[in-house]
């Protein structure tokens, strides 16, 4: 049929196969030979000059003249799909190419599928009478119809068409390439040409793509099962272990700890090696068959794609490679193969090697094995349960060995190190997060919860706390915290604090060190809470409760036989030591560290490292102990007494520290507690004004001071503590000045009476020694003794008694008696600064001793203090202070009873006792028996009346 009879294709083009000139053609990388092939179809200059290199329309197509062709624009005609007539041969007279200037006889364009998609339209297809087109030059051969039909039938059955031959060649090239890829050799064809071949097959149709996928899968399965890959490996392995039937019993012994690598370990190494090789092969195959992967398989989701194709049940090249390897090694989902079980056991043994530090441990192999198991999909279902079961048995053996061979400290360290190693191993070897959580959870149950009694043993915990082992305690706390048992550590914590604190408070031999030891205990416990317990408030509150319990426990305080709180007394003396001597009196262990200063800085407090800031922090620490005391009246009595000594004797290291401490006490206890203490500082200021006025009067009257610079402190008796009266005969020069001031003061303030406390006085005496003069800062009794030697120095030097005073002579001249005289002489002749010489020598003073001036005395300082022993408190004074506090407490109890009954009028005994305890506990705890005794005294004084079990107020 002539080409001119083919009508133009006016219908819409097939959306799945469009020509290269269509505007909706898919974007694809241009073929290497596409441009040249297009140029062979139309070599006209106009076509060659087109920048888009579109293929011209076929010369076989000539539209039939008519209204359609005359009205259609050339632009629209160019967009129509190309139509090629394959039904009849083309003769030179019928076919002329466009722009054929040479008028050469054309031939029909050959079918070239690799040039891209074409739309083939066959109109009125009929069997051709001949197999080939007649030649335009040469004789014409004619055949009968019967012979022609027979020849056509033979050609159809025996000779493949060019299309089938082309695709057969593609499959042969791909098969050859796969064989080369499997063995790691370069392919005969370029990979890009192989990729184009895969693309052509996929574009041919879904059935051809499916066939290509099946051919690829079959080739891969055969190669995996071959002797070069897994097939030869299984054969060699089963020969070693015996047979497949005995494999189940020998797989577990494929490599015990302590021996050489067994068949199971060798199997794992070989399987992982083949896994790596298989990944390399799949990588190359995925590149060659990527168009099959993207255009047909596309395993991103299930269901139908936009074109309506069903993709369910398909898998990509990569997934197919993993599935094939998994089936070859581990079998299907119905059951695990023998060799797969051996591989899993070998992986678990690798972990055991790593745990034991065995030389057969291979970190790289273990990491790759875990990745293989995860990708093959056998990790969660098969490997994880086996691994957790073996790990559980390992944890049980470990806990048993460590608990029997180590103490608490060693057990904590070993368990903490084990948990850290297990966690790092899970992170470093690509274990899944669920495996890590289950593994560590099981470890916590076996190592911590099961052995919690050992971890929480009070004796073992106490030894760690006593040794100040912060790191082991921190490890213990963290271990217990992992299982939520950290609060159970509160019991051993409180037991240690009460036991240790009670031993310190009841130690009568080391009473002077009580507060320092308590502060040292508190300091170590605070560091433990800060560094080991992560500042957990539970342990902080337990610490406060335990301190308050043993400090106020009367059974513990009864060891001192004072009737009142001994801790309150010692805290007052500790603060006195700080305010007198400063930081040099403290041990280094009580000093703040850098973290304490940083915490103080963050809280807005003084954080510098100077002495004033550190002294302020130490006073705060002492106040922490003071807060625990229920009987604060004892502290008040001793603190007032010590403060009076510091003020009168000028022994305060810092006036700012004194006022700072007074402000802290006022905030802590209120203004009523510090009223008398504040009055003492006011009296000191008033005394300075009074002495200035006296010196002006003395200068105005022209009186001489006799070489004595007198300073008198006038104190109000109500605010200051009472001091014992000690009879002292002062030197004549001093006594004259005292009488002068006494007359001046009484004339100025009528009705007032002065009581002189000479034993609290101090003075500076100038002394001359062989090595130069010195100024001796001494008390009034010491000065009286020293002044006596001025009189005996003027005696006859030839006399045997020149410059010598006996014990009796000194007692008669100074008026000092008993212990006061002995302490005075001992401080002058037996102390550190020995300005007198005692005969005979010794540390104790006897009534038969004699004394002379030590002319050879020397000291690097010009002014020397020698009154330390004189200032020490005697046991009698201490006992009297406690007795006075106890008596005042009884009066306060009676006042509280009267105050309560006056407001309530009538109360039962139990109610009255409870209310009295509540109102008096801030000053000092009173027993119910003491309260009952005071109620009886008030009944005798007619303040109360008893009616049955109740009391009525009468006054």
Query: Which phi and psi angles does 255 have, rounded to 5°?
Result: 175, 80
Alpha-carbon distance of 952 to 955, in angstroms, equals 10
Give the pLDDT of residue 886.
80
CB-based contact 789:804 (threshold 8 Å): no
Residue 297 near residue 316, CB atoms below 8 Å: yes
pLDDT value, residue 123 = 63
Confidence tier at 274 by pLDDT (50, 70, 90): very high
pLDDT tens by residue, 859-902? 888 988 886 554 456 677 777 788 888 888 888 888 888 888 88
Please classify residue 165 by burial: count the beta carbons closer than 10 Å to its beta carbon, then call 0-12 exposed, 13-18 middle and 19+ buried: exposed
For residue 557, count other CB atoms closer than 10 A to its CB: 21
Q: Are 61 and 86 in contact (CB under 8 A)?
A: no
Please tell me the distance from the alpha carbon of residue 871 to that of residue 856, in angstroms, as a whole number: 26
Lowest mean pLDDT among 57-61, 82-86, 339-343, 498-502: 57-61
Split at pLDDT 50, 70, 90, the class of 37 is very low
For residues 24 and 851, which has the higher predicted lDDT (pLDDT)?
A: 851
Q: Which residues pair with 778 in a beta bridge?
A: 763
Closest CA to 171 of 223, 208, 225: 208
pLDDT at 779 over 90: no
The Cα 784–Cα 790 span in angstroms is 11
Assign 5 a pLDDT band (cuts: 50, 70, 90). very low
Determine how many CB atoms are found less than 10 A away from the CB of residue 462.
17
Distances in whole angstroms, Cα of residue 527 to Cα of each of 386, 407, 520, 602, 881: 44, 23, 11, 18, 36
Between CA 735 and CA 937 the distance in angstroms is: 48
Give yes or no for residue 28 having a pLDDT over 60: no
Q: End-to-end CA distance of the chain: give it in Å, rounded.
A: 146
The overall average pLDDT reported for the chain is 78
Geometric angle at alpha carbon 82, from 81 and 84, rounded to 5°? 140
Phi and psi at residue 769, in whole multiples of 5°? -120, 175
445 Cβ neighbours under 8 A, 6+ residues apart: 483
Mean pLDDT, residues 445-458 taken together: 88
| Residue 950 phi, psi (nearest 5) | -125, 165
- For residues 735-742, give the mean pLDDT: 88
pLDDT of residue 59: 40
The closest of 828, 711, 811 to 762, measured between CA atoms, is 711
User: For strand 863-865 and strand 772-779, is the pairing parallel, antiparallel, or unpaired?
Assistant: parallel
What is the dihedral sign for C-alpha 358, 363, 369, 370?
positive
Residue 285 has pLDDT above 90, yes or no: yes
Question: 48 Cβ partners below 8 Å, 6+ apart?
Answer: 39, 42
Query: Among 110-119, 424-433, 919-928, where is mean pLDDT lowest?
Result: 110-119
- The answer to whether the CB of 125 falls within 8 A of the CB of 87 is yes
DSSP 469: -
Q: Which of 199-208, 297-306, 799-808 has the lowest mean pLDDT?
A: 297-306
Angle at CA of residue 821, ends 817 and 824, nearest 5°: 160
Angle at the Cα of 312 from the Cα atoms of 310 and 316, rounded to 5 degrees: 105
pLDDT-above-90 percentage for the chain: 21
**How many CA atoms does the CB half-sphere of 311 hold within 13 Å?**
18
The pLDDT tens digits of the residues spanning 675-685 come to: 888 898 888 88
**pLDDT at 68 > cutoff 50:** no
User: What does the pLDDT read at residue 175?
Assistant: 92
- Under 8 Å between Cβ of 645 and 682: no
Residue with tokens 């009223």: 675
Please report the pLDDT score of residue 443 as a whole number: 92
pLDDT at 578 over 70: yes
Q: Which two tokens stand for residue 396?
A: 């049980």
Both tokens of residue 382? 């098969």
Q: Which helix (H) or strand (E) element contains residue 910?
A: helix 909-920
Over residues 727-735, the mean pLDDT reads 85
Average pLDDT on 819-823 reads 84
- Residue whose C-alpha is closest to residue 637's, from 578, 576, 568, 581: 568
H or E stretch covering 765: strand 762-769
**What's the CA gap between 411 and 235, in Å, rounded?**
48
Asked if residue 95 has pLDDT above 50, the reply is no
Is a pLDDT exceeding 80 seen at residue 517?
yes
Looking up tokens 């695990």 gives 336
How far is 760 from 582, CA to CA, in rounded Å?
Answer: 23
Higher per-residue confidence, 607 vs 242: 242
525-534, 602-611, 721-730, 840-849, range with the lowest pLDDT: 602-611
- Encode 807-829 in three state secondary structure: HHHHHHHHCCCHHHHHHHHHHHH
Backbone angles phi, psi at 765, to 5 degrees: -115, 130
- How far apart are alpha carbons 938 and 942 in whole angstroms? 6
Label residue 801 left, alpha or beta by phi (over 0 means left) and psi (-120 to 50 means alpha). alpha
Burial of 553 (0-12, 13-18, 19+ CB in 10 A): middle
Residue in the block written with tokens 């240790």: 500
Confidence of residue 501 (pLDDT cuts 50, 70, 90): very high
Sheet (strand 906-908) strand order: 906-908, 950-953, 944-947
3-state secondary structure of 359: coil
Q: What is the pLDDT of residues 640-695, one digit of tens each?
A: 888 888 888 778 888 888 888 999 999 988 888 888 888 988 888 888 888 889 88
pLDDT of residue 801: 63
Residue 542, pLDDT score: 93
Average pLDDT rounded to a whole number, residues 342-346: 92
Q: Average of pLDDT values for 42-70?
A: 41
From 426, 425, 419, select the one nearest 444 (Cα to Cα): 419
β-pair partners for 806: 850
Asked whether the CA dihedral 46, 50, 55, 61 is positive or negative, the reply is negative
**pLDDT value at position 887?**
83
- At 947 the three-state DSSP class reads strand
* DSSP H helical ranges for 49-109: 67-71, 74-79
Neighbour order of strands in the sheet with 772-779: 762-769, 772-779, 863-865
Which H/E stretch holds residue 776? strand 772-779
**Number of other residues whose CB lies within 10 A of the CB of residue 143:** 13
Report the side by side order of strands in the sheet with 805-806. Answer: 805-806, 850-853, 836-839
Share of the chain above pLDDT 70, in %: 76
pLDDT band at 306 (very low <50, low <70, confident <90, very high): very low
Report CA torsion sign: 118, 124, 129, 133.
Answer: negative
Please tell me the predicted confidence (pLDDT) of residue 890: 84
- Give the pLDDT confidence score for residue 300 in this predicted structure: 40
pLDDT for the residue 499: 92
For range 375-401, the mean pLDDT: 92
- Asked whether 96 and 110 are in contact (CB, 8 A), the reply is no
* Residue carrying the six token digits 């403290």: 586
Confidence (pLDDT) at 671: 86
Q: For 929, list phi and psi in degrees, rounded to 5.
A: -65, -40
Higher local confidence (pLDDT), 332 or 385: 385
Name the maximum alpha-carbon separation found in the chain.
183
Q: In the prediction, which pLDDT does 924 show?
A: 66
Q: Is the pLDDT of residue 89 over 70?
A: no
In this prediction, residue 782 carries a pLDDT of 87
The two structure tokens encoding residue 842: 């010794």
Q: Name the CA radius of gyration of the chain, rounded.
A: 56
pLDDT at residue 803 in the model = 78
What per-residue confidence (pLDDT) applies to 136?
Answer: 36
DSSP 824-866: HHHHHHTSSS--EEEES--SS--TT-EEEE-TT---SSSEEE-
Q: Which residue has the tokens 């009864």?
A: 558
At 384, is the pLDDT very low, low, confident or very high (cuts 50, 70, 90)?
very high
Is 60 exceeded by the pLDDT of residue 755? yes
Q: Which residues have C-beta within 8 Å of that of residue 78, sequence separation ≥ 6?
A: 21, 57
Unique residue bearing structure tokens 């099961």: 450
- pLDDT tens digits, 143-166: 344 444 344 444 444 566 888 899
Q: Who has greater pLDDT, 448 or 150? A: 448
Token pair in block for residue 309: 């194709």
Residue 887 host element (H or E): helix 875-904
CB 59 within 8 A of CB 96: yes
Q: Is the dihedral of CA 110, 113, 119, 120 positive or negative?
A: positive
The structure tokens 């794992």 sit at 268
How many DSSP H helices and E strands does the chain contain?
38, 9
Amino acid 293: pLDDT = 87
Find the angle CA(792)-CA(796)-CA(800) to the nearest 5 degrees. 80
């Amino acid at each position: 049929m002539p080409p001119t009879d083919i009508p133009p294709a006016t219908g819409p083009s097939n959306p799945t196969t469009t020509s290269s000139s269509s505007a909706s053609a898919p974007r694809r990388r241009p073929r290497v030979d596409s441009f040249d092939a297009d140029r062979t179809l139309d070599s006209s200059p106009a076509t060659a000059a087109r920048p888009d290199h579109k293929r011209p329309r076929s010369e076989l197509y000539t539209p039939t003249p008519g209204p359609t062709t005359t009205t259609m624009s050339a632009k629209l005609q160019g967009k129509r799909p190309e139509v090629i007539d394959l039904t009849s041969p083309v003769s030179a007279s019928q076919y002329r190419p466009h722009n054929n200037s040479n008028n050469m006889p054309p031939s029909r364009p050959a079918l070239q599928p690799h040039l891209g998609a074409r739309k083939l339209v066959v109109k009125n297809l009929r069997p051709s009478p001949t197999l080939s087109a007649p030649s335009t030059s040469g004789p014409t051969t004619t055949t009968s119809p019967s012979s022609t039909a027979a020849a056509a039938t033979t050609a159809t059955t025996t000779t493949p068409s060019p299309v089938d031959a082309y695709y057969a060649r593609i499959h042969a090239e791909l098969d050859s390439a796969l064989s080369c890829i499997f063995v790691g050799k370069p392919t005969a064809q370029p990979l890009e040409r192989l990729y184009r071949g895969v693309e052509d097959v996929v574009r041919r149709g879904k059935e051809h793509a499916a066939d290509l996928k099946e051919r690829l899968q079959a080739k891969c399965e055969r190669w995996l099962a071959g002797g070069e890959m897994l097939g030869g490996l299984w054969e060699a392995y089963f020969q070693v272990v015996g047979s497949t039937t005995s494999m189940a019993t020998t797989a577990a012994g494929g490599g015990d700890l302590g021996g050489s690598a067994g068949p199971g370990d060798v199997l794992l190494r070989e399987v992982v090696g083949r896994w790596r090789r298989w990944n390399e092969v799949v990588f190359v195959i995925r590149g060659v068959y990527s168009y099959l992967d993207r255009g047909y398989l596309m395993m991103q989701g299930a269901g139908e794609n936009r074109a309506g194709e069903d993709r369910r049940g398909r898998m990509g090249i990569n997934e197919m490679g993993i599935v094939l390897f998994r089936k070859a090694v581990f079998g299907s989902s119905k059951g695990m193969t023998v060799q797969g079980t051996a591989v899993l056991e070998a992986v678990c043994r690798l972990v055991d090697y790593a745990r034991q530090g065995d030389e057969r441990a291979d970190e790289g192999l273990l990491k790759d094995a875990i990745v293989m198991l995860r990708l093959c999909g056998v990790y969660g279902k098969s490997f994880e349960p086996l691994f957790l079961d073996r790990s559980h048995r390992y944890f049980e053996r470990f806990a048993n060995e460590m608990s029997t061979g180590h103490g608490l400290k060693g057990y904590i360290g070993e368990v903490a190190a084990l948990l850290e190693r297990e966690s790092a191993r899970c992170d470093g070897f690509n274990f899944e997060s669920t495996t890590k959580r289950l593994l560590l959870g099981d470890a916590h149950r076996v190592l911590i919860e099961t052995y919690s009694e050992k971890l929480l043993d009070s004796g073992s915990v106490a030894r760690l706390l006593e040794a100040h082992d912060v790191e082991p305690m921190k490890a213990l706390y963290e271990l217990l915290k992992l299982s939520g048992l950290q609060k159970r550590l509160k019991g051993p914590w409180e037991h240690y604090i009460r036991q240790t604190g009670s031993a310190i408070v009841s130690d009568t031999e080391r009473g002077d060190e009580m507060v320092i030891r308590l502060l040292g205990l508190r300091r170590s416990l605070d560091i433990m809470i800060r560094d080991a317990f992560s500042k957990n408030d539970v342990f902080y509150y337990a610490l406060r409760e335990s301190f308050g319990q043993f400090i106020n426990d009367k059974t513990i305080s009864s060891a001192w036989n004072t009737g009142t709180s001994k801790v309150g007394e010692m805290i007052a003396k500790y603060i006195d030591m700080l305010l007198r001597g400063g930081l040099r009196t403290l041990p280094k262990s009580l000093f703040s560290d850098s973290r304490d200063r940083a915490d103080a800085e963050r809280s807005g407090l003084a954080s510098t490292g100077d002495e004033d800031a550190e002294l302020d922090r130490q006073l705060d620490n002492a106040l922490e102990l003071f807060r625990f005391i229920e009987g604060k009246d004892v502290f008040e009595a001793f603190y007032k007494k010590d403060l009076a000594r510091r003020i009168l004797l000028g022994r305060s290291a810092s006036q700012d520290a004194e006022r700072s401490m007074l402000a802290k006490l006022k905030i802590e206890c209120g203004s009523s507690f510090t009223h008398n203490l504040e009055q003492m500082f006011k009296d000191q200021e008033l005394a300075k004004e009074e002495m200035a006025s006296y010196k002006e009067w003395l200068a105005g009257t022209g009186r001489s001071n006799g070489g004595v610079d007198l300073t008198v402190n006038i104190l109000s008796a109500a605010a200051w503590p009472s001091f014992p009266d000690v009879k002292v005969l002062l030197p004549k020069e001093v006594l004259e000045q005292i009488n002068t001031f006494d007359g001046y003061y009484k004339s100025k303030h009528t009705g007032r009476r002065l009581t002189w406390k000479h034993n609290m006085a101090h003075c500076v005496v100038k002394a001359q020694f062989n090595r130069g003069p010195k100024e001796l800062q001494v008390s009034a009794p010491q000065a009286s003794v020293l002044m006596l030697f001025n009189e005996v120095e003027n005696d006859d030097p030839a006399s045997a008694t020149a410059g010598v005073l006996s014990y009796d002579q000194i007692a008669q001249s100074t008026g000092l008696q008993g212990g006061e005289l002995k302490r005075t002489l001992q401080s002058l002749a037996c102390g550190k600064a020995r300005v007198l010489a005692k005969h005979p020598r010794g540390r104790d003073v006897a009534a038969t001793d004699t004394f002379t001036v030590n002319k050879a005395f020397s000291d690097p300082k010009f002014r020397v203090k020698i009154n330390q022993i004189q200032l020490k408190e005697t046991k009698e004074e201490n006992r009297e202070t406690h007795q006075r506090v106890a008596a005042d407490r009884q009066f306060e109890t009676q006042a509280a009873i009267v105050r309560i009954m006056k407001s309530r009028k009538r109360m039962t005994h139990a109610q009255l006792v409870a209310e009295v305890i509540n109102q008096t506990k801030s000053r000092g705890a009173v027993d119910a028996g003491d309260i009952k005794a005071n109620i009886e005294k008030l009944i005798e004084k007619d303040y109360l009346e008893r009616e049955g079990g109740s009391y009525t107020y009468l006054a």
